[in-house]
Structure 1
Amino acid sequence: MHYQGKVYRPWMEADSVLIQTTLGCSNSQCTFCTMFDDKRFKVRQLEDIFADIDQARRYYPQVRSIFLIDGNVMAIRTEMLIKILDKIKATFPEIQNISLYSGFNDFRRKSISELKEIKSAGLDMAYSGLESGDPLVLERIQKRMTREHAIEGMAMAKEAGIKVLASFIFGLGGKERSVEHAINTTSILNIMQPDAIAPMALAVQPGSVLEQEIGRGEFTLPTPLQILEEEKYLLENLVDFDCYYWGDHGNNISPMRGMFPAIREPFLQKLERDITHNPITKQNAIQTFAW
């Protein structure tokens, strides 16, 4: 099996076999991200992808879950993506889950019929970076996606039956726009109602544009208390819809996960304890670590 450059997968896919399908990310301009800055976006040759799938079969006697990397695999032409999914299902008849990264705009660039074909071919879940529901934050981080784009993309995935995990970042509004970031991110999640959400505390990546903005005084890091208050607002104001809350990323101040809305009250109690008693809340700015 062949991997080129830095390789990433969601922490909830730790047990999945990784098949590199694209190189890099089709949107490599996000100011906070350096995940794929070592390569330009490219779709691998189909025969090379198939060779890796065959090699994985030789390595693993049982494969229950496969995650397709790199970024925005949904950007692949529909007919090619279906061939890859067909190959996986034929090679691993025991497979139970196939997932990939997809931007919300990648859903929008396909028709509903195409998305339904992809779902029928075996795709179970797409991991999509929302980052924020605040229009100004989305513009500042150069996401090249509007709030309306995210809502439309989510609706299309839902209509096709594709499950979506939406990830977003506490603290991405900085110290000055923490409240607006929390309010607008919560409100868009209430509209979208994804199958799972993955909130992560901001981590400033070395060499990122965001790091340079901090150095120039253009972005002020939020405090740990603001991060906790953003999560508290989220949990207090999400409407009751079924989704899995993956709030246990390694950078989160108060890691927790479980099925929402059942976890709302115990999670809020945990947050209140951290807000009141965790000494980290006395710090003037969050300490961040590379992914």
Structure 2
Amino acid sequence: MRYEGKIYRPWPEAESLLIQVTLGCSNNNCTFCTMFKDKTFKKRKIEEIYKDIEMARKFYRHVDSIFLVDGNVMVLKTEFLLKVVRKIKEVFPEVQNISLYSELNDLRRKTVEDLIELRQAGVTLLYAGLESGDPVVLENIKKRMSPKQALEGMKKAKAAGIDVLLSFIFGLGGRERSKEHIEATTSLLNELEPEQIAPMALAVQPESELEQEVLSGEFILPTPAQILQEEKYLLENLGDFETYYWGDHGNNIVPQKGMFQPLRKEFLTNINNEIVSNPIVHEDVHRTFAW
């Protein structure tokens, strides 16, 4: 495939064919992220995307799932996205899932009718970074999104019948705002009721703005004990809505995943055991790896 620059995809999409639709991210401003710092956001030419789709058909006899990269593909005009999705369905009629990155603000700016058209064309799942439900944390990380805007975006996705996977970051409030961060995030998730959630432990990316804040002392990293306590709070206080828990990110202290409600007690037991017995709780900083 003719990818430009570094390519990122969510870990649940490990088996998906990746089709590049945009370069970079239209926000590209979050302090903790460096994924698209090497790119200026733009959409690819539709003819080039078509060529990639047709090229992929020559190499893959059967494709179940396709993920559209780079950053928030949903920011593009609906008419353009429909052309891409319909071309995929034409060339890969067997495909069952078409998913992409989206900001909740991208959903908020679409009409419900736009989103219904995309669902009917074949879009099945959107990945969106919630990061936090705490307005202070959201402002600190330059997310350019408020909890109210997140709710508006999710409301439209639900009205259109498109599933959303929301990712968020344990420890993003730092050592000083851990409690406020996880309480507000859990509360907002209970209002949003996403179909899937993907919590991950904070990893400071090299050359990120957050790394500079850590080095200057402006941001104090959370302890491993705080990371575990945040997950414990989430598991204890998440509502009764049905969701899939993708808690198996490589930086998480306790990787665990599955349908949340049937496994809640098991997940919570695992976390409590780690809090009691894992020597990591006595360390000052949780060691993580760059994406």
TM-score by length of 2: 0.99
Please show how residues 120-131 of structure 1 align to structure 2 within 5 Å. Answer: 120-131=120-131
1:81-230 maps to which residues of 2 (within 5 A)? 81-230=81-230
Q: Which residue of structure 1 lines up, in the alignment, with residue 242 of structure 2?
A: 242
CA distance in 2, matches of 1:182, 1:81: 35
User: Which stretches of structure 1, 4 residues or more, deviate above 3 A after TM superposition?
Assistant: none
Amino acid at match of 1:183: E
Q: Distance in 2 between matches of 1:201 and 1:2?
A: 32
Output the CA distance in 1 between the equivalents of 2:135 and 2:286.
23
Per the TM alignment, residue 288 of structure 1 is displaced from its structure 2 partner at its CA by: 2.5
User: Could you tell me which amino acid in structure 1 is paired with residue 108 of structure 2?
Assistant: R
Q: CA deviation at 1:138?
A: 0.1
Secondary structure, aligned partner of 1:164:
strand
Structure 2 gap segments, 5+ residues each:
none
- Shift of residue 24 of structure 1? 0.2
Query: 2-side partners of 1:270 and 1:149: how far apart?
Result: 34
SS at match of 1:263: helix
Which residue number in structure 1 is paired with residue 66 of structure 2?
A: 66
1:195-230 alpha-carbon deviations (Å, 9 max, x no partner): 000000000000000000001110000000000000
Count of paired positions: 291
Supply the distance in 2 between the matched residues of 1:203 and 1:6 (Cα, whole angstroms). 18
Deviations along 1:236-264, whole A, 9 cap, x unmatched? 00111111000000000011001011111
CA-to-partner distance for each residue in 1:153-198, whole Å, 9 max, x for gaps?
A: 0111110111000000000000000000010000000000000000
Report the CA distance between 1:117 and its aligned residue: 0.8
Task: State the shift of 1:115 in Å.
Answer: 0.9
The amino acid across from 1:45 in the alignment is: K
| Structure 1 CA distance for aligned equivalents of residues 252 and 17 of structure 2 | 26
- TM-score w.r.t. the length of structure 1 is 0.99
Equivalent position SS for 2:169: strand
Counterpart CA distance in 2 for 1:259 and 1:114 is: 30
Secondary structure at the residue paired with 2:126?
A: strand
Alignment correspondent of 1:257: 257
Partner Cα distance (1:176, 1:285) in 2: 14
Q: Counterparts of 1:256 and 1:46 in 2: how far apart (Å)? A: 39
User: For structure 1, which runs of at least 5 residues remain unmatched after alignment?
Assistant: none
What is the RMSD of the two structures over their aligned residues, measured on CA atoms? 0.5
Measured in 1, the distance between the counterparts of 2:218 and 2:270 equals 33
1:49-99 Cα offsets, whole Å, 9 max, x none, are 000000010010000000000000001110010010000001011100000
